[in-house]
Structure 1
Amino acid sequence: MAQKEADKKPLVILLNQIASEHGVQFNYNSDLVKEFFVDPIPTELSLEDKLKKLAAQTNLTFTRLDAQIIGISAPILVCGYLKDVTNNTPLIGATIQATTNYTITNNEGFFELKVGHISEKIHIRFIGYQTIDKLASDFASEKCTTVYLNEHHEFISNITINGYLIKGIDKTSNGYTTIDFSKFTLLPGLIETDVLQTVQALPGIQSVDETVSNITIRGGSNDQNLVLWDDIKMYQTGHFFGLISSFNPKITQTAQVINNGTDASYSNGVSGTISMKTNDKLQEIFNGSLSLNFINANFFADVPLGKKSSLQLAARRSIDDWIKTPTYHNYFKRVTQSTEIENNDKNVANSNQEFNFYDTSLRWLFMPTDKDIIRLNFILIDNSLTFDETAIFNSTTETKQSSLSQQSIAGGIHYHRKWNSKFSTTLHIYETDYTLKAVNANILDAQRFLQENIVSETGVKLQANYLKNKWKFNGGYDFVETQITNLNDVDNPRFVRLYANVIREHAVFGQTQYQNSNNNIILKPGIRINYIEKFNTFLIEPRLSIHKKLSNTFSLEVLGELKHQNVSQIINFQNDFLGIEKRRWQLSDNDSIPIIKSKQASLGVTYKKKQWLLDATAYYKNVEGITTQSQSFTTKYEFHKNKGSYDAFGVDFLVRKNFKRLNTWLSYSFIENTYSFDDLVEKQFPSNFDTTHSITLGSTYTTRLLNFSLGLNYTSGKPTSQPIVGNEIVDNEINFGDANSNRLSSYLRADASAMYKKEITESTSVDIGVSVWNLFDKKNTINNYYKEENNTAQKYARYSLGITPNFLLQLNF
């Protein structure tokens, strides 16, 4: 050891030797290097390798100042806290990057980083916030500096209300509601960021039967909603017969909800649009998560692939074939009540019920240059239910299997080119395919009934954007080809009916947006011209959005639109078998199944002062071209095929108050939703979705480690028809009174959620959550229907979920 120390040489001597060998000059403070002794450096090494060896022995930083001068400095440790400028909350997981080193902020927003010298630039960025650069000298103090970031708002989607309900739910100047799950806190009854469950917390959006596959937006049926995942149209939205969303919550980063004033680039969805997006930022460090709840297991990974590409992968699967939890039992009981699984013929025994689901999502992002972005998406969704039916014939036991499966597979490619600071173009191509297949084995009649519904759609959209001063212009071309096939196949007696239809639609659209310098007014008119090949039909659809700031506290909003859609969902005999196989997508034939057309106008006013928010919107919507088959009739007119329309008048109201850690809100929606069917006995009567009054009261308490949320939901009972008392059966059929002249009992439900977040190490953390749906186990009737049995009208009902707990354990790394 003593000999080895004796071999070391003063650093100054080696620096002079290297300077002579390579013709360079070192720039340093003599006091910095005079105490360093280092091992000799082989003379045959390159200059760069010699500097690396010196840096490794001394922990000094060697920086080329120019071709001949190399600066020597001691490393500097900088530290700080990163926070939101609006509410002073810490920003967790932000990237702090220097020239050769980087780190991320912890659960307190704290970071430490070694840099080479005080003039080194530090790059600070966080999703959804403006990126900033600072010098190391800005942190050169004994006390760690607090750095504040402002949220990043694009010109086209200015945020006018931050934290509309809770943090992460905002409202934009064009009337849209945006949800950013990276900033999300917690909603009552939820422990995961389920998009389609979350949107139901917004005024004017409800589900008449608690499912995400039956969401109504301002009185419209679910098939009138346009659901997009990274601009790919989706025809399947739910797992477990719609009790949870089929879109993996880990890969879905943001969502946008549009009730009115839709962008001219969108078609379909005459009632509303729910557009989900994955993260559009390149990931530079690996992160992921593993989670488990009482329904499914989930895996997510965000993998950087070099400096210009990253891959997101998410996979989720039900766990009922491993363990059947109380939550699973409640869900299964809810979706199978009053179906053939629960109520088969008394001579038939059901067994071996198996239900499972899975989904896989992928998003690849590639940025070959600063001006080009390529995104590739893929999604696979699958639900499968099977059960055996067993009966005894002539002392012989016979068993047959019935089944139901739903599957969606879709992919898209998106290319965005920014030609300069003012002009950009986007090309998007997608293919989406949906298949519903049901096999009903009627063992007593020795019959097998096969039903299939297949949707295959291809879309191409090219658009251009131009920005000039206070103006933004957008225009483009959109093409969609949709093919839908329906099959009914009975083996005894033999009967096969197969029918397929294709519609191709072309559209051009244009839109402009004006925003004055002080943001007092934002004007956004647009127009879309559609041509449907099959019917040789042109449809012209204007769109309008006006946002006017009247004062520092008051603002006014005017929205309007005309829209159409060629696809709807019919429901035939939905109380047979399992029910869901009766909900089939179909294309318009421009006759018995018309093109659905809507027009809507709304006027809104917002008051915002300090921590108070009041938001009220009145609207009128008219939708023509609906059919009785698409409106979920289960009593009177269930078997009719008639064309009609509906008119909806409504008001959506929200009041919200923020305290220091407590956020509370009260939302109220009123709607008067009326059908018009000229060929029915009653020309006008209440819609099946006329939930006149809806009230939600919620509160969320948030700390650094714990989130707690409690909520109460009330909805007027939905309309229904009843048989005439004393004359219930006429000609072996149920004799109903006036259509929808009665109502089910009002719906009332309380929910609670709690989430605990704990940092384990600097790069790993754990989330532990618990939720209770229907906290007081209220038995709510969500639907009813009647069957003729022994010359009487036998009443049946379907009920909501009872008290249903859930638990989440999630490891983030």
Structure 2
Amino acid sequence: MNKTLLCLVFYIVSIAFCNLTFCQEPSGEKPLAQILLKLEATYDVKFSFETKTIEGILIRPLPDELSLKQVLNHLNSITHLSFEMLNSRFIAITQKEIEEPVSQIQRLEEVVITNYLTKGISKTNNGTIKTNTKAFDILPGLIEPDVLQIVQNLPGIMSVDERISNINVRGGTNDQNLILYEGIRMYQSGHFFGLISAFNPYLSEDITISKNGTSAKFGNAVSSTITIKNSDKIDKNRSGGLGGNMLSVDGFAKVPLSEKTELQVSARRSFTDILVSKTYDAYFDRIFSDSELNTSTPTNTLLAQDERFLFYDFNARFLYDISSTSKFRINVINISNDLDYSQVFTTTDNNFQETKSELNQTSYGGSVSYSKLLNQDLNLSAQVYFSNYDLDAKNNNISNNQLLTQENKVEDFGFLFDASKIVNESINFNLGYQFNEVGVTNFEDVTNPDYTSFVKEIIRTHALFGEVEWYSISRDTYIRLGSRISYFGKLSEFLIEPRFTVNYKFLDYFRLEVLGELKSQSITQIIDLQQDFFGIEKRRWQLANGNDVPLITSEQTSIGLSYNKNNLLVSVEGYYKGVHNITARSQGFQNQFQFTEDIGHYTVSGIDFLINKRFNDFSTWLSYTYSKNDYKFNQLHNGKSFPNTIDLRHVFNTSLTYNRDKFKIGIGFNWHSGRPFTPPKDLQDNSNFTIEYNAPNSSRLSDYFRTDISAIYKFKPSKGISAEVEASIWNIFNQTNIVNRYYTFDSDNNILDIKNKSLKLTPNLSFRMNF
């Protein structure tokens, strides 16, 4: 708890320091964002805009005696923006430029909180959180706008083992998240087996996260929804960028082909198969330290080891504005991780033996979409997508004289039709139909003893969805009501899933938010034995079959209250979440339930708290989450509840960032209580060649504590070229944190205590040029 107090003291001192030193208002120009906040309070109005629209605009403070009309006329004259009164209270801010080739229909989404944690992160009235990577400022430990690292800074979202591929949203497992890249469902989200986001941050522009109250348009996932989109605007000029860090190099380009077409491409490749850095060493130790790559047996001595690891990703997007009312888009994505390694051993008879193994993880997908605007208030759109995920492994286990070959493959094809109708400025309807076919193949071949298995399953799903959005005339109240009706063909199951969102503003600076949803999921991950896929990637996708793997369902509700005034945001949100029909094999038990098959559920109840204060160039925030996450299975633990494997009761984060002209720096502290594990009753007792365990998840790991720092410096080496130098240190104090603990046998049947350690001190350095 001393570390918790340290974080709290740091936060209090940060606020006091900023108040004493930096709270005096400058006499010169101020960011337009600050001016708008003051105008909203003075004239009781609300400005609606995209964050990037006002980015970088500085103006002098306006005289207090001006009327609202005079203020808007003045702003119209001194900026390149248009300020339009939609009604007595609502003002829209847009760019002053020639009308876009496609006058895309606008839904009733409104940003209600800007700079939610830092610049570029905002919250909307429908409960979603949006991140604009182009306007993104800085977060401690990050030097690049890594999509899935950013979301882990939000209250209620984290990874219990630091892996991108294991994001836990309000107690849910990673496979319960829906991740869509331009409408393509992604079954692989990380590089370096989970430590780095697989989505290039310099082409991805808008990320939307929904923890609850999800739009009825999205289905087949019982936890969160994360959508990733690239720029949808055809630029007149070419642009691009090149960069690299201590793991990889990357580049992107936007190339207008004509007035109506544009090509966007990005690529990234690691150089870890050629050059090894300190960052690579830290990542390699984190992933492979407890795998077969770092082990020897008493009868075999490891003489040499040679590993070759690389990752790459590629994205391309083609934009075609057919006319002023219709557009056509094509997207493709390819992601890959490849590991090949060989080992040379001496055997008991002093001979040499060499083994070669490999692990390849690949995803590719594509989507084609078309939209048409009719009568200025009706928009029709259609999309077809395909997603393929393939995990291949060949593991040569010398200790057991065994060759294991495995493949896990997912093929996902889908079609979506969507119609949106604006009735008036207060009401919008949305209706649609979605068809989805998912096939999962699992292949396994083992020698000594010889065994082969090949299983392929398919589920086809039909879904109708609809919702209505409504604004009060004063724009203080927003309501979205919707429902999704799904039919799962193979399972012969029919589900109705209502969703709702209510957002109410009162007393000028307070907002009440109530969210709720029912959801379902037909695909999940099972977790194999400890050494499958070298102990690195043990997860395999599997479809529901209506028997031992049922259809997962969930319900969630939350209520939140926020206060936002004078650059001070305080919010608190309580929630309840229940997820049913989970299987024991999907939970990663590493205790007496490791080989047990059973069906059960987990329930989570918790509170998310956030306070954020901005002082001119400084921003500081503190978040705290308390949650209680418990299992209950039909047979396990005699049907009694016990803590979830990823239950973290207390999570505390605090950060201070500084942004001044060309220089940015941020420092942050991260603390959470330890996750549960199950210790043996006696580490020395292996007489029955089994481990006798205590009650499941009855003990907890030590508290986790980490401090990160990052800095960015921007400059212009020449006309038309901008550059950035970025540096970061993850776990700056090199704190040893245990993120998982389990027990197994060695080759002599002695009980081993395995402790998975978090990333140690990990530096990174990046240089980028944009043109």
TM-score normalised according to structure 2 size? 0.86
Aligned equivalent of 1:259, options 187, 211, 224: 211
> Are 1:244 and 2:191 matched, yes or no?
no
Compared CA separation, residues 751 and 390, structure 1 to 2 (3 A)? same
1:290 equivalent in alignment to 2:242: yes
Give the alignment of 1:580-619 within 5 angstroms.
Answer: 580-619=536-575
Q: CA deviation at 1:396?
A: 4.5
- For residues 561 and 79 of structure 2, what CA distance do their matches in structure 1 show? 40
Instruction: State the structure with more CA Rg.
Output: 1
Deviation string 1:497-543 (CA, Å, 9 cap, x unpaired) is 01010000000011000112221111100011101111211000001
Q: Is residue 2:483 matched to residue 1:527?
A: yes
Distance 1:107 1:272, change over 3 A: closer
Deviation at 1:549, TM superposition (A): 0.9
SS at match of 1:253: strand
8 A Cα contact 1:616 1:652, kept in partner: yes
Superposition deviation, residue 348 in structure 1 = 4.9
Which residue number corresponds to residue 567 of structure 1? 523
Aligned pair in 2 of structure 1 residues 344, 364: CA closer, same or farther (>3 Å)? farther
Aligned length, in residue pairs: 691
- Contact 1:361/1:380, CA 8 A, preserved across alignment: yes
Mapped partners of 2:694, 2:399: distance in 1: 35
Distance (Å, rounded) in 2 between the aligned partners of 1:579 and 1:792: 19
**Local SS of the residue matching 1:681:** helix
C-alpha displacement of 1:574: 2.6
Is 2:465 aligned against 1:465? Answer: no
2:34 aligned with 1:87: yes
Contact 2:141/2:729 (<8 A) preserved: yes
Kindly indicate whether the alpha-carbon contact (under 8 Å) linking 1:572 and 1:639 is maintained by their aligned counterparts in 2.
no
Match of 2:403 among 448, 459, 473: 448
Identity score, percent: 38
The aligned counterpart of 1:651 is 607
Partner AA of 1:433 in structure 2: N
Structure 2 CA distance for partners of 1:584 and 1:431, relative to 1, 3 Å = same
Residue 108 of structure 1 contacts residue 704 of structure 1 at CA under 8 Å; is this kept in 2? no
Q: Secondary structure at the match of 2:658?
A: strand
Instruction: Give the distance between the partners of 1:769 and 1:195, measured in 2 at CA.
Output: 17
For residue 442 of structure 1, report the CA deviation from its aligned partner.
2.4
* Structure 1 residue 441: Cα displacement: 1.0
Q: CA separation in 2, counterparts of 1:129 and 1:742?
A: 55
Partners of 2:685 and 2:475 in 1: CA distance: 63
Per-residue CA deviation, residues 522-570 of structure 1 (Å, 9 max, x unaligned), is 1100011101111211000001001111221111011000000000000
Deviation at 1:416, TM superposition (A): 1.3
Q: 2:621 aligns with which of 665, 688, 701?
A: 665
Q: Deviations over 1:186-215 (max 9, x none)?
A: 000000010000000000001000010001
| Distance in 2 between residues matched to 1:225 and 1:202, nearest whole Å | 15
Distance in 2 (CA, whole Å) between partners of 1:444 and 1:746 is: 36
Q: Which amino acid aligns with 2:762?
A: T
The match for 1:184 is 136
Residue type matched to 1:363 in 2?
Answer: R
Does the aligned pair in 1 maintain the 2:576–2:604 contact within 8 Å? yes
Per-residue CA distance 1:68-111 (angstroms, 9 max, x = gap): xxxxxxxxxxxxx999632379xxxxxxxxxxxxxx9998889x
Give the whole-Å Cα distance in 2 for the aligned partners of 1:783 and 1:153: 48
Aligned to 2:359, which of 369, 387, 404?
Answer: 404
Q: Which residue of 2 aligns with 1:115?
A: none
2:435 corresponds, among 479, 486, 501, to: 479
- Structure 1 unpaired stretches of 5+: 1-80, 90-103, 111-120, 135-151
Cα distance change of structure 1 residues 442 and 579 upon mapping to structure 2, 3 Å threshold: closer
1:426 — aligned with what? 381
Q: Secondary structure at the match of 1:500?
A: strand
1:375 aligns to what? Answer: 329
Tell whether 2:153 aligns with 1:201.
yes
Opposite residue 756 of structure 1, the aligned amino acid is Y
Deviation at 1:687, TM superposition (A): 0.3
Deviation by residue 1:277-333 (Cα, 9 ceiling, x = unmatched): 111111210111110100100011111111111111100000113321110111111
Tell me which residue corresponds to 2:178.
Answer: 226
For the residue of structure 2 that corresponds to 1:328, the secondary structure is helix
Aligned residues of 1:560 and 1:600 also touching (Cα < 8 A): yes
On the 8 A contact 1:613/1:655 being kept in 2, the answer is yes
2:431 maps to a residue whose letter is G
SS of the aligned residue for 1:578 comes to helix
Structure 1 counterpart of 2:255:
303
Residue 271 of structure 1, CA deviation: 1.0
SS of the residue aligned with 2:724?
Answer: strand
- Deviation, 1:661, is 0.5
**Which among 712, 722, 725 is matched to residue 765 of structure 1?**
722
1:777 is the counterpart of 2:731: no
CA contact (8 A) 1:391 1:444 kept: no
Residues 444-472 of structure 1, C-alpha deviation per residue, up to 9 Å, x if partnerless? 55432100000000010001000011100
Distance of 2:452 and 2:242 partners within structure 1: 47
CA root-mean-square deviation: 2.4
Indicate whether 1:731 and 2:688 are aligned.
Answer: yes
Deviates more, 1:778-787 or 1:446-455: 446-455
CA displacement, residues 629-655 of structure 1 (integer Å, 9 cap, x when unaligned): 111222331222111100100111100
1:337 matches 2:293: no
Q: For 1:230 and 1:726, how far apart are their aligned partners in 2?
A: 51
Among 123, 132, 147, the alignment partner of 1:171 is 123
Alignment match, 2:657: 700
Instruction: Determine helix, strand or coil for the equivalent of 1:86.
Output: helix
Q: Is the 8 A contact 2:682 2:692 kept in 1?
A: no
CA distance in 2, matches of 1:132, 1:476: 34
Aligned residue among 753, 768, 771 for 1:810: 768
Task: Name the SS of the counterpart of 2:204 in structure 1.
Answer: coil
- Aligned to 1:330, the other structure's residue is in SS state helix
Question: What is the Cα deviation at residue 709 of structure 1?
Answer: 0.6
Q: Deviations over 1:752-800 (max 9, x none)?
A: 0000000223310110000000010000000111113556532110100
Runs of at least 5 residues in structure 2 that lack an aligned partner in the other structure: 1-27, 37-52, 60-76, 83-91, 99-103
- 1:679 is matched with which residue? 635
Cα distance in 2 for partners of 1:760, 1:810 equals 12
SS at match of 1:341: helix
Secondary structure class of the residue paired with 1:130 = strand
Check whether the contact 1:728–1:736 (CA below 8 A) recurs between aligned residues.
no
Q: For 2:681 and 2:768, how far apart are their aligned partners in 1?
A: 55
- Please report the TM-score for the alignment, with normalisation by the length of structure 1: 0.82
Distance 1:106 1:159, change over 3 A: closer
Measure, in 1, the Cα distance between the counterparts of 2:713 and 2:672.
31
SS at match of 2:165: helix
SS at match of 1:733: coil
Q: Higher mean Cα deviation, 635-644 or 168-177? A: 635-644
Q: Does the aligned pair in 2 maintain the 1:399–1:443 contact within 8 Å?
A: no
- What does 1:530-545 correspond to in 2, within 5 Å? 530-545=486-501
Q: What amino acid does structure 2 have at the position aligned with 1:315? A: A
Aligned match of 1:63: none
Which SS does the other structure have where 1:462 is aligned?
A: strand
Distance 1:323 1:82, change over 3 A: farther
Residue 54 of structure 1: aligned partner: none
In structure 1, the partner of 2:62 is none
1:403-443, CA deviations, whole angstroms, 9 ceiling, x for partnerless residues? 10100010001111111211001101100000001101123
Does residue 549 in structure 1 map to residue 505 in structure 2?
Answer: yes
Q: Which amino acid aligns with 1:780?
A: N
